[in-house]
Structure 1
Amino acid sequence: MKLKHIICSFLALSALLNSSSCTKEYINPNAATKAEVLSSADGLMGLAVGIRREWSVGATGALFNTVICNGLATKELTVLNTGNNTLASLEAGKGSLNGANSTMANLWTSANLVKAYAQQLLDNSSVIGDAGTKAGVEAYGLFFKALAIGTMSQFWEQVPTEVISSTDYIDGKRPNFKPRAAALDEAIAILKQADGIIKANAPSATFNTKVGTDISLPNAIQAMIARFSLMNGKLDDALAAANLVSPTVLSVFKYDAVNQNPVFRSGLVSNNVVGGVANFGLTGALAPEAADARIPFYLGGATLSKATGFFKSDLDVIPLYLPSEMTLIKAEVLARQNKIAEAIVELNKIRTKATDPLNVTAKLAAYSGAETQPAVLEEIYKQRCIELFMSGLKLDDCRRFGRPGPNDANFERNRNFFPYPNVERDNNQANTPADPTV
C-alpha cells in the first residue's frame, strides 16, 4: 500500500476523529479506505507516518503552533505584521486572548487529532502478526498520544485525555477534562507503558524501515518522562529518566521540499509574520552574556533578532528535544533538592559546552555567582531560556520558576494558562471548563 494513498486516507479519517469537523466523508477513489489502513501492518505503519506528519508539518500542525503560541506568550517572539490580529492577541495576552484565536485553536485541534490517530494505532495493532512490528506501532502510538497530552498540559489548566469514537460522538458522548497534574501523570504512565513494550520486543527492521528511526524511541520516551515529570514536580522521576537519555543520540523531525520546516516556511521566511527578540527577550540579570555563542546561533548575531537556529530553511531539522534539556533537568532537580554543588556541575556543562550534536554551544566561563539555591535556580532558568529558545517550553518554565506573571510589574509571560478554544466549547459545552482569568 503506497504511503501517499495511506496519507490520503489519514486525512479522510480526520472527518471522523475531529469533533469540530463535518461528518460527511468525501471518498478519494485512489486512496486506501479506512478499513484498509486499520486492518494491515502496512496500513498502520503508514498511519504512524501520518501521525508524525500531522504533528510536525504545516501551519496548522502542533509543532508550529506550539512554537508560536509559547513564543508570543513569553516575549521570545514578536509580531512583525501588526495587522495580524490573531497573532497580535497572542502577543498581548491577558484579556486580549480569547477562545476565538485560530492559532491557539490549531494547537488544540492538532494535538487532539494526534491523540485520536494514536488511539487508532493502539486499537488496531492486534492485526499485526510480527511481534517487533507490533511493538513499534504500539510504542509509536503511545508516544505520540503522551506527547499530545503533555503538550496541551503546558498551555491549559485542564485537558481532555480520553478519545471518543465517532460512533460515541454521534450518540452524544463528549470527552471529560482532567486537571493538568492528572493529565501529566497520565502522559507519564503512557510513556512508561511504551517503554515496557519496546523493552519486551524491540521494533522490527520492517518498522524501522517503513516508519523511520529519526525518532529514537528508547531515548525519546525517557526524555518526555523526564520533561513531564519535572513539570509535575516529580523530581526523582525526572532525574532518573534524564539519566537514561543518551547525550549523543538525536530525535528529530526531518523536512524536504514537499514537507517543509513549518516554522521557517509559515513563520519566518517572509519577515512579515513573527521575528525573534534581541537578547532572547531577556533583560536585567537574565540577559545573555555578550560572548554567548548561542546569540549568533539562534538570533543571527549580537545586534540581530532574526530567529535562526533550527529554522533557517525549508530543510532544517527540528529536534524533538535537545539533549542539553536533560542536563538542565538534572541541574534543576539537584538545585531544588538543595544539592547546590552537584547542580552547579550540571549547570557548567551547559555554560562551558564547546561541542554539541546540534551545534548549540555557549562557550562561556564556568558559573561564578552565589552558591545559593535562589541564585543557582535563577541561573538555570536563564540558561533554559537561552539554550532551549523557541522549543515551546518557556511558558511552563516561567510558571515553574515563579517568574513575574501577567498581573505583575515587568511581567515575563502574558498569560498563566490559555482560554479554551471555541472549537471545543461549541462542541463540548457541558464539559469544557470556565476560562482562566489570565
Structure 2
Amino acid sequence: MKKYLNFNIKAIALLMTVLAVSSCETDFDNPNAATDAQVFSSREGILAATIGMQQLYSTTGLRWIVETPAVTTREAGITTTFQNMIDLEDGGDIPNSTSNIVGLWSTMLRVMSISEDIAKNAPDLNINDGTKSGLVAYANLFKAMAIGSMAQNYEQVIVAISQDGDAAFVSRTEAYNTAVALLNEAQNLIAANPISEEFSSEILRGNIDLENTLQAMSARYNLFAGNYDAAISAAGSVDESSTSVFTYDSQNLNPVWSRVFQNGVPNFKPRDSFGLPDSFSIDPADGRVDFYLVPLDELNINQLPIEDLAGFFDEESGTESIPVYLPDEMNLIMAEANLRKTSADITAAVTAINNVRTDNDDVFGVNANISAYAGDTSVDALLDEVYLNRRLELFLTGTSLEDSRRFERPEPSTSAKVFTDERNRNFYPYPNTERDNNSNTPADPSI
C-alpha cells in the first residue's frame, strides 16, 4: 500500500503534464512544464502517462465519441440551444469549427500521441518485462481505439502522429486494419511476456480485463474492415463473463452523465424507440427498453419525441462506470459476419442472434430476455434483425454512425433540418484546426 500511495503522490504532478506534452503545435510553451523526456523516461512518469491516456479517452474522448454520432443518427435529441448541438441535429453543411467535430478529432489525436510515446519509451526503461509488455500493449489498445473512433466518423483518418504537421491520411479500411495490427501486436506481446502484478495493480486495478478487451476490439475492427472470418474468431474468443469498465469519481465524472444530468441542464436526451424509424418493431417486452430509457412525454426543441436516460448514465453521483465493450456485441458481430461472408452461415447467424434475444444473465444487466427469432431467415431480413439489436444493445456506445452506413440505411438529405432522415450526415467534415495546419487534409465529404 505504501508503494502505491508513493506512486500516486509522485504521479499527480506528472499526470497533469501528460496532456501538455501531447498538445498541438499552436500551444504556448510553458517553461515549467515537464518535457517528453522527463515524463517518459521514468517508471513514475510513464505510469502516470498511461493513466492520463486512459483518463483522457474515457472522459473527454468518450463524450465526443458517444454524443456526436448519437445526435447525427437520431439516438439522441438535443435539449439546448448551444450552437454545436444545433449544428449536429440540423445536419447538412456542418461548420468545420463545430466543437464536436474539432473535439472528437483532436482528442483522438492526443490519445494517439500519448500512446505512441508510451510504446516508444517503455521498452528502454529499467522495469519488469511484464510491466513493459503491459504498457506497450495498453498503449496499442488505446491507439487502436482512437484510430477506430476516428474511422467511424471521418472518411479518411490519420494513423500516425507527425510532429511536422504533415501526417498522411488513409482510408477507413486501412485505418481499421492498422487498428487490428496494433491489437494483434499487443496480444503477441503479453503472450510472450505476461503482464506483471505491478502493471495489473498500478494500471488495470481490477477494472480492465486486458486480454479479453484486446480480443473484443479486434472483433469490432475486423468486422468494420470486412475481415469476417477474423471477426468471428476474435469475437468467439471473448469470455462473456469477463468485464472491462471505465471508472469515474467526483473529479472525473461519467461524461454522458455530465452532458445529460449535471446541474439539471441536459444537452441532449435519448429519442423515443432508440431513434429507430417505424419500420422497425421493438418487442414491448424487450428488457433493453427499460434498461436504457425512462418514459417521458416530451418533445425537444425541434419537436422530436424524447425520453429520460437510464442505463450506465443515471447514477446521481455521476460516477457510474461505463463498459469498455458489451459482451453481446460479440454475438452480434458473429451474427453479422456470418451473414456477410462469402458463403453465409444462416444457422450460425440465427444462433448468435438468439443468444442476444434470449439473454437473461448479462454481466452488466443488459438483457433483452425475449423469445427466439422466428422471422424470415433470408440474409437481408437477418441483417435487419442484427441492426435492430445493435441499435438496442449498443445504445450510446458510439457505433451508430458506422452501423447506419454499413447496413445501408437511407442516405441523408443534402439539406439541413430534414428531421425525418435516419441520419443527417455520412461523415463529418475535417476540423479547421487540422486543415489549417496540415496540407494533406482531404476535401470535406459532400454530406
TM-score when normalising by structure 1? 0.92
Q: Which runs of 5+ in 1 are unaligned?
A: none
Aligned residue identity for 1:329: I
RMSD, matched Cα: 1.8
Is the Cα contact below 8 Å between 1:226 and 1:329 reproduced in 2?
Answer: yes
Is 186-195 or 120-129 further displaced after alignment? 120-129
Correspondence for 1:306: 308
Give secondary structure in 2 for the equivalent of 1:202. Answer: coil
Q: What's the offset of the Cα at 1:16?
A: 4.0
Q: What's the offset of the Cα at 1:9?
A: 3.3
Correspondence for 1:427: 437
Distance 1:401 1:208 in 2: 39
Correspondence for 1:100: 97
Q: Which runs of at least 4 in structure 1 moved beyond 4 Å after TM superposition?
A: 301-304
Is the Cα contact below 8 Å between 1:19 and 1:427 reproduced in 2?
Answer: no
Indicate whether 1:207 and 2:207 are aligned: no
Is the Cα contact below 8 Å between 1:15 and 1:23 reproduced in 2?
Answer: no
Aligned residue identity for 1:180: R
Correspondence for 1:404: 410
Distance 2:25 2:425 in 1: 25
Is the Cα contact below 8 Å between 2:246 and 2:324 reproduced in 1?
Answer: yes
Partner deviation per Cα, 1:232-259 (whole Å, 9 max, x = no partner): 1110111011011110111110111222
Correspondence for 1:326: 330
Distance 1:52 1:129 in 2: 21
Aligned residue identity for 2:128: D
Correspondence for 1:129: 127
Give secondary structure in 2 for the equivalent of 1:300. Answer: strand
Distance 2:249 2:24 in 1: 31
Partner deviation per Cα, 1:187-221 (whole Å, 9 max, x = no partner): 11111000100000111001111112412111111
Partner deviation per Cα, 1:2-42 (whole Å, 9 max, x = no partner): 436535434434344222541412526xxx66433211223
Q: Which runs of 5+ in 2 are unaligned?
A: 1-5, 298-305
Give secondary structure in 2 for the equivalent of 1:241. Answer: helix
Is the Cα contact below 8 Å between 1:268 and 1:274 reproduced in 2?
Answer: no
Partner deviation per Cα, 1:308-363 (whole Å, 9 max, x = no partner): 11101212110111011001001111122421122111101111111110000111
Give secondary structure in 2 for the equivalent of 1:362. Answer: coil
Q: In structure 1, which of residues 105, 109, 115 is the aligned counterpart of residue 106 of structure 2?
A: 109
Give secondary structure in 2 for the equivalent of 1:272. Answer: coil
Correspondence for 2:300: none
Is the Cα contact below 8 Å between 2:18 and 2:52 reproduced in 1?
Answer: no
Change beyond 3 A, Cα 1:348–1:222: same
Change beyond 3 A, Cα 1:355–1:295: same
For residues 175-324 of structure 1, the aligned pairs below 5 Å read 175-212=167-204, 213-269=206-262, 270-301=264-295, 305-313=307-315, 314-324=318-328
For residues 45-56 of structure 1, the aligned pairs below 5 Å read 45-56=47-58
Is 419-428 or 336-345 further displaced after alignment? 336-345
Correspondence for 1:368: 374
Is the Cα contact below 8 Å between 1:353 and 1:361 reproduced in 2?
Answer: yes
Is the Cα contact below 8 Å between 2:335 and 2:386 reproduced in 1?
Answer: yes
Is the Cα contact below 8 Å between 1:20 and 1:423 reproduced in 2?
Answer: no
Indicate whether 1:14 and 2:19 are aligned: yes
For residues 328-343 of structure 1, the aligned pairs below 5 Å read 328-337=332-341, 338-343=344-349
Q: What's the offset of the Cα at 1:425?
A: 1.0
Correspondence for 1:436: 445
Q: What's the offset of the Cα at 1:302?
A: 8.4
Partner deviation per Cα, 1:75-98 (whole Å, 9 max, x = no partner): 0001001x2111111111122x12
Distance 1:195 1:27 in 2: 38
Q: In structure 2, which of residues 41, 44, 68 is the aligned counterpart of residue 42 of structure 1?
A: 44
Is the Cα contact below 8 Å between 2:296 and 2:308 reproduced in 1?
Answer: no
Change beyond 3 A, Cα 1:4–1:90: farther
Q: What's the offset of the Cα at 1:70?
A: 1.2
Aligned length: 423
Correspondence for 2:363: 357
Is 261-270 or 317-326 further displaced after alignment? 261-270
Q: Tell which has more relative contact order, 1 or 2 (C-alpha 8 A, sep 6+).
A: 2
TM-score when normalising by structure 2? 0.90
Aligned residue identity for 1:18: S
Correspondence for 2:303: none
Is the Cα contact below 8 Å between 2:21 and 2:35 reproduced in 1?
Answer: no
Q: What's the offset of the Cα at 1:369?
A: 0.8
Indicate whether 1:377 and 2:383 are aligned: yes
Is the Cα contact below 8 Å between 1:15 and 1:21 reproduced in 2?
Answer: no
Q: What's the offset of the Cα at 1:66?
A: 0.8
Distance 1:26 1:278 in 2: 52
Q: What's the offset of the Cα at 1:285?
A: 3.0
Aligned residue identity for 2:366: V
Aligned residue identity for 1:305: E
Identity percentage of aligned residues: 35
Correspondence for 2:83: 85
Partner deviation per Cα, 1:352-384 (whole Å, 9 max, x = no partner): 111110000111111111111111110110000
Distance 1:94 1:248 in 2: 42
Distance 2:268 2:25 in 1: 28
